[in-house]
Amino acid sequence: MDFTLATYYPLFLYLLVIIFGFVVPVLLLTHLVGPKRRTPIKQMPYESGMDPIGDARQRFDVKFYLIAILFLVFDVELLFLYPWAALSPWSSTAEGPASFLPAPLHTLVFWEVLVFLLTVVVAYVYAWRRGVFRWR
């Protein structure tokens, strides 16, 4: 199949019609017709559904930081695990195995991933025993 820019002209034309025929008039109409009453409550900053009362430099409990760090640790663990799972020799495509490794390394990489997962599980159990997940 030969795709040239001419193939996409109908799509570009459709997008232009949508943008200039619908989006711009709706934005102009809401700007012209919408209410313009400025009240002190509307001008007040909005932060996550909480009223901004007091100083912004308050001390936070250490629990917030521990939960954030644990989230990052387990999130990065998934980032390392997903490419291996997607390209492992056990995940196959119509053409055959999707692995990029030579066959002798499949077993070695499998055991390396198990060691990695074991390390993450040990860290999770340690955090659980220390009471990091208990919110007091």
pLDDT at 92 over 60: no
**Could you read off the pLDDT of 32-72 as tens digits, one per residue?**
998 888 888 777 777 666 666 777 677 777 778 878 888 88
- CA gap 111, 134 in Å, rounded: 33
pLDDT value at residue 28: 93
Give the mean pLDDT of the chain: 79
Q: Where are the domains of the chain?
A: 62-129
> How crowded is residue 63: how many other Cβ atoms within 10 Å of its Cβ?
13
Query: Could you tell me the end-to-end alpha-carbon distance of the chain, in angstroms, rounded to an integer?
Result: 63
Task: Identify the band that residue 99 occupies on the pLDDT scale cut at 50, 70 and 90.
Answer: low
